[in-house]
Structure 1
Amino acid sequence: MCRWLAYSGSPILLEELLYKPEHSLIDQSMHARLGVGTTNGDGFGVGWYTPGGSPEPTLFRGTGPAWGDENLRELAHSVRSGMFLAHIRASTGTPVQQTNCHPFRHGRWLWLHNGRIRGYPKLKRTLTLSVDPELFPCIGGSTDSEIMFYLALTFGLETDPIGSVERMVGCVEEAGRQHDIDNPVQMTIALTEGERLWAFRYSSERNSRSLYCSTAVDTLRTMYPDNPALQGVSDETRIVVSEPLGGLVGAWQPVAESSYELVKPGIDVVGPFEPALVGAGR
């Protein structure tokens, strides 16, 4: 599978999370501990929002292993952002090409995914035909992950992010029933429009891939008053990750099975995730 992280908070250099932690995302590209495999070398990508800049994010994606890409290292050393998503890919069967690397972008939205649609070759035609015809020309690659994104857009992502993802999953599970594919959905997903961050953990068999959210910064400051890294970020800073970036006790909380987390200014929201029939609202 893949590994990913999503950051929301005080602007920081990308390298602070991609390279510097004990078990950074780049380290996970070679030595993942909680994934299906230990190596994630089938491409990478970073999408970020520039403070005070365009509302649309910038993408940098490559097809080689993240651990050996010098351009990524240079970029991470110089780009600062308060909202970014990063992903290292392990293909589940689709080609290693730039258009198949996460994050995926549509307008101001970024989307990334870990997991798969089981039986995707059998379901691909049904799911593709469910995408809004006006959105279809925007699909650039061949992954199930990107189809999931465009299904969510089709089902109202821009006005109802949580409900649209629930309807996307409902659509995939219904297609699975039509084609005799059991438990078709396995996913952790990060989604943002630059101001808020949504994270989802769900699988049809209720045995989802790992996902963690960082503990509230004010709590960590109380636990570790001498840690300088905690003094330079706001109380609202959060990191969501496929697996923890380090071994600081109490720093990472598992995201519950079949749930979502919404990181936003003020109080974050945690709620249950339930697939929905297409046409249902939240």
Structure 2
Amino acid sequence: MCRWAAYRGEPLYLEELVSSPAHSLIEQSHCATRAKTATNGDGFGIAWYGDRPDPGRYRDILPAWSDCNLKSLARQIRSPLFLAHVRAATHGGTRRDNCHPFVHGHWSFMHNGQISGFDHIRRAMESMLSDELFHARTGTTDSELLFLLALELGLDTDPLGAMEKAVAAAESLSLETSGEALVRFTAAFSNGRELYAVRYATDHRPPTLYAAPMGGKTGYCLVSEPLNDDVDTWIEIADGSAVKVCAEGAQVAVFAPRGERVETVRKSA
């Protein structure tokens, strides 16, 4: 399993999540406390938004704790919206193209989880893509393919609905192929304006997701693990939930790949 952190709010330096906190993302890369494996050393990546609509990105296959460039960049880059990820591989080899976040146009995406039996449904999922999105795929992970499938299914016009359809498609193909479906999906994605996150699993055992206010009245940080020991600050996002962070603050809704999405909570710092 991987670890990740994402932020939307008033501009701040990436180091506020990536390297400075006591339990920063770099610390989690070799000492995660709320994951099956403590070490996430199969690469890392950051994607951030600035003055242009498309995000900047830096990825490498080195463990995050051993890359001095990452700490230097995090200290210098200041952004109102960014995603950061440290990888523990489940599908796909250790290569730069398989490191998160994945980017296409103005969208960025990162994922923690897995699709069980992915090798048996990969070809069917690929066949659902247009030629443009099929050729945009450069890696071999289930995460990147889910991202591209969500783009195919309308991520630009209905981000959470498209992600529900993509996960539902993976579940349906798994059921058709093997008679069972196991999808564990805790992901963050952004179009450069809003930040979205999802926590969902078919077996109700999704990877962890926490949220805390940060960076102004409507800013929020979304993380796999809390960045410090202030337990009163961090809210655990429930299984089957989607979070949208926008100019109005954070909104939490039901994430139901096979049902209707209903907004349940609206929060603002």
State the TM-score bracket (shorter-chain normalisation): over 0.9
Distance (whole Å) between structure 2 residues aligned to residue 98 and residue 272 of structure 1: 33
Q: CA offsets per residue over residues 82-116 of structure 1, 9 Å max, x none?
A: 10000000001411011100000010010000001
Where do 5+ consecutive residues of structure 2 fail to align?
263-269
Structure 1 residue 133 displacement after superposition: 2.2
Q: Does 1:174 align with 2:172?
A: yes
Distance (whole Å) between structure 2 residues aligned to residue 90 and residue 96 of structure 1: 9
Structure 1 residue 135 displacement after superposition: 1.1
Match of 2:88, SS state, is coil
Q: Residue 236 of structure 1 aligns with which residue?
A: 218
What amino acid does structure 2 have at the position aligned with 1:2? C
Q: Residue 271 of structure 1 aligns with which residue?
A: 253
TM-score of the pair, normalised by structure 2: 0.94
Q: Residue 222 of structure 1 aligns with which residue?
A: none
Distance (whole Å) between structure 1 residues aligned to residue 43 and residue 249 of structure 2: 35
Structure 1 residue 267 displacement after superposition: 4.1
Q: Residue 185 of structure 1 aligns with which residue?
A: 183
Match of 2:178, SS state, is coil
**CA contact under 8 A between 1:183 and 1:203: conserved in structure 2?**
no
Distance (whole Å) between structure 2 residues aligned to residue 8 and residue 106 of structure 1: 19
Q: CA offsets per residue over residues 194-233 of structure 1, 9 Å max, x none?
A: 111110000111111110011x45xxxxxxxxxxxxxxx3
Distance (whole Å) between structure 2 residues aligned to residue 111 and residue 87 of structure 1: 10
Q: Tell me the matched-pair count.
A: 262
Distance (whole Å) between structure 2 residues aligned to residue 27 and residue 99 of structure 1: 23
Q: Residue 226 of structure 1 aligns with which residue?
A: none
Give the fraction of aligned pairs with identical amino acids, expressed as a percent. Answer: 41
Moved over 4 A (4+): none
Q: Residue 223 of structure 1 aligns with which residue?
A: none
Q: Cα 1:132–1:269, aligned 2, differ >3 Å: closer, same or farther?
A: same
Larger deviation: 40-49 or 175-184? 175-184
Q: Cα 1:261–1:93, aligned 2, differ >3 Å: closer, same or farther?
A: closer
Match of 2:168, SS state, is helix
Q: Does 1:253 align with 2:251?
A: no
Q: Residue 21 of structure 1 aligns with which residue?
A: 21
Distance (whole Å) between structure 1 residues aligned to residue 124 and residue 72 of structure 2: 42
Q: What value does the CA root-mean-square deviation take over the aligned residues? A: 1.6
Distance (whole Å) between structure 1 residues aligned to residue 27 and residue 224 of structure 2: 13
Match of 2:65, SS state, is helix
Q: Cα 1:181–1:93, aligned 2, differ >3 Å: closer, same or farther?
A: farther
Distance (whole Å) between structure 1 residues aligned to residue 236 and residue 217 of structure 2: 19
In the TM superposition, 1:204-215 aligns within 5 A as 204-214=202-212
In the TM superposition, 1:29-178 aligns within 5 A as 29-50=29-50, 53-178=51-176
Distance (whole Å) between structure 2 residues aligned to residue 34 and residue 58 of structure 1: 29
Bigger radius of gyration, 1 or 2? 1
**CA contact under 8 A between 2:241 and 2:252: conserved in structure 1?**
yes
